[in-house]
Structure 1
Amino acid sequence: MSQCLNPDCLHSNPEGCQFCQKCGSKLRLVERYYAKSILGQRGFGRTFLAVDDFKPSKPPCVIKQFLPQAQGTATLQKAAQLFDQEAQRLELLGKHPQIPELLAYFTADNRQYLVQEFIEGETLQQELDNQGAFTDNQIIALLKDLLPVLDFVHQNKVIHRDIKPENIIRRASDKKLVLVDFGAAKQVHSTSQSVTGTVIGSAEYCAPEQAMGKPQYGSDLYSLGVTCLYLLTQA
């Protein structure tokens, strides 16, 4: 199937169609990417499972479409800024094997798009739902796997700001943990940690200083700690 990317349509079309049968929109994004299905929607973005038609193997990828829902110019401007920053953070963090690679970032049909590597696997939230509470040994293994990734992020002067079970995927191919969703990430400058900024993140995992708009590198460790407690206790 080919998923229409028009937010007002989203019709699923038979394989091989070049244009949406319902609204007539072109189905291949920038003549390269075909959306196959909707993965989800939250915040200011909708994500699609897609195919890179420029590569012989037609590998899967993820298209994230900026989809502002809120009212008010200031809110929309902030949302657009965060979407742009997510692309910048992914590019800055390069090709770490446990962070999705940025493949493209562009504007098409007056909408912003980000294309990134598709990570096949289950989130830790899905694992918890399917298998129940984690054991002590599972949490120790989680920390050994994820702390070096977080250290890499911080070494590149980035604070993730939204670490939680839904944003950690266990990759199916090698069972390694992958840190995803850098939409809330913040790049740290020499003066920025002393300046109060926008409060971003999931409240139940958010460190006190982050809740006051002053996230630190340690705020990510706090969120990871809360994540581990939740996985251990389901509470």
Structure 2
Amino acid sequence: MSQCLNPDCLQLNSKTTIFCQKCGSKLLLTDRYRALKILGQGGFGRTFLAVDEHKPSQPYCVIKQFLPQAQGTNNQQKAEELFQQEAIQLEQLGKHQQIPELFAYFIQDHRQYLVQEYIEGENLAQELAQSGAFSETKIINLLGDLLPVLAFIHQKPLIHRDIKPENIIRRKSDNKFVLVDFGAAKAATRTALAVTGTVIGSAGYVAPEQALGKPTFASDLYSLGVTCIHLLTNKEPFDLFDVSEGDWVWRDYLTVKINNTLGQVLDKLLQQGTKKRFQTAQEVLEALQLTVKPISSPTPQPNIELKSAKGVNYHQLEQLL
């Protein structure tokens, strides 16, 4: 089927149709990308599964359509900037096997669109809902696989600002974790970091300094820590934080066993004070005694300047902890 992209129509048409049979809107974006169905909808717009009809195999891709729910001129303008910013950030990141590649960004019918690589798989929120609380091994695998991706992003330098289970997809083809949704990403220049900015992020996962509009690289690590304890406990972040004590009480909700080293790493990721927290992804990897390049990785990791932590093999981690 071919999905109409007109927000007021959304009629399903036959796959060979050029114009929507209900509203007459053109179904192909730039005479190339055809939407098949709606994948999801958020505050900035809709996401569609699509095909690229310019390629012989007609591979799947993802269309993001800017369709803000924000009210007011200022909010609308900010939403437009963030949507365009996502395209810019993806372009600047270039090709990375665990970040969706940007294929196109354009305006059609007075609406903004970006087209990016389709990642087949479930996000971690979906996996949690289906399989229940993550085991220690699954959390170790998550950290070992995703921390080098964060290091790559931070070296650009960018801060993702929205690390959470919904934005991490376990790719079906190789079980690798892919980080998505760079709409909130911010360039981490010295000037930008010195200026208080708009508060962006998902409630419960946002680091204290980010909530004040001053995110740092350590803010992403904090959000990753919150993601881990949410996955370990299957409890919402707000339930894992004791407001009266100003501290995380995630261990009270554990139903799985974890070792002391992993627990200490998670505690440090969750420190309220930025300076008490891990500052870089490399520090976390070293604390976990993970190597940057797991033996099981089918393709070489990007050339990022991280040092192997004491030469420890990835697969030996559970025996070492």
TM-score range, shorter chain: over 0.9
Q: Which residue of the partner structure matches residue 47 of structure 1?
A: 47
Aligned amino acid, residue 141 of structure 2? A
Q: Which residue of the partner structure matches residue 96 of structure 1?
A: 96
Partners of 1:124 and 1:24 lie apart in 2 by: 38
1:14-33 superposed matches below 5 A: 14-33=14-33
CA RMSD after TM alignment: 0.6
Q: Which residue of the partner structure matches residue 286 of structure 2?
A: none
Aligned amino acid, residue 28 of structure 2? R
Aligned amino acid, residue 79 of structure 2? A
Matched position secondary structure for 1:205: coil
1:114-193 superposed matches below 5 A: 114-193=114-193
Please list the CA deviations of residues 87-126 of structure 1 after superposition, one character each: whole Å capped at 9, or x if unmatched.
Answer: 0000011000000000000111111100000000011111
Matched position secondary structure for 1:36: strand
Partners of 1:16 and 1:177 lie apart in 2 by: 35
Q: Which residue of the partner structure matches residue 7 of structure 1?
A: 7
- The range that moved more, 62-71 or 31-40, is 62-71
Partners of 1:226 and 1:71 lie apart in 2 by: 30
Partners of 2:161 and 2:220 within 8 A in 1: yes
* TM-score using structure 2 length: 0.73
* TM-score using structure 1 length: 0.99
Partners of 2:21 and 2:42 lie apart in 1 by: 27
Shift of 1:190: 1.8
- Structure 1: tracts of 5 or more residues without a match: none
Please list the CA deviations of residues 162-212 of structure 1 after superposition, one character each: whole Å capped at 9, or x if unmatched.
Answer: 000000000000100000000111111221112110000001100000000
Specify which structure has the bigger relative contact order, considering alpha-carbon pairs within 8 angstroms and separated by 6 or more residues. Answer: 1
Partners of 1:95 and 1:67 lie apart in 2 by: 27
Q: Which residue of the partner structure matches residue 79 of structure 1?
A: 79
Partners of 2:229 and 2:47 lie apart in 1 by: 29
Aligned amino acid, residue 61 of structure 2? C
Partners of 2:29 and 2:108 within 8 A in 1: yes
Shift of 1:69: 2.2
Give aligned pairs, total.
235
Aligned amino acid, residue 210 of structure 2? Q
Matched position secondary structure for 2:55: coil
Partners of 1:149 and 1:208 lie apart in 2 by: 23
Aligned amino acid, residue 178 of structure 1? V
Partners of 1:15 and 1:136 lie apart in 2 by: 45
1:51-70 superposed matches below 5 A: 51-70=51-70
Q: Which residue of the partner structure matches residue 196 of structure 1?
A: 196
Q: Which has the larger radius of gyration?
A: 2
Shift of 1:68: 2.1
Partners of 1:102 and 1:117 within 8 A in 2: yes
Aligned amino acid, residue 157 of structure 2? K
Partners of 1:147 and 1:153 lie apart in 2 by: 10
More strand by share: 1
